[in-house]
Amino acid sequence: MTTSGSATGFANYHIGTNDWPGIAYTYVIDRDGTVNWDWDVIPYHRGDSDRRALGICLVGDFRTQQPTVEQYAAALQLVRL
Per-residue model confidence as pLDDT tens for the chain (81 residues): 677 788 888 888 888 888 887 788 889 999 999 999 876 766 776 666 656 678 899 999 999 999 999 999 999 999 986
Query: Could you say which architecture CATH assigns to the domain 7-80?
Result: 3-Layer(aba) Sandwich (3.40)
User: What's the pLDDT score for residue 46?
Assistant: 62
Nearest to 23 by CA among 12, 31, 34: 12
80: enclosing H helix or E strand: helix 69-80
pTM of the model: 0.81
What pLDDT, on a 0 to 100 scale, did the predictor assign at position 37?
86
Per-residue confidence (pLDDT) for residue 51, from 0 to 100: 64
Q: Which amino acid is residue 34, in one-letter code?
A: T
DSSP state of 52: T
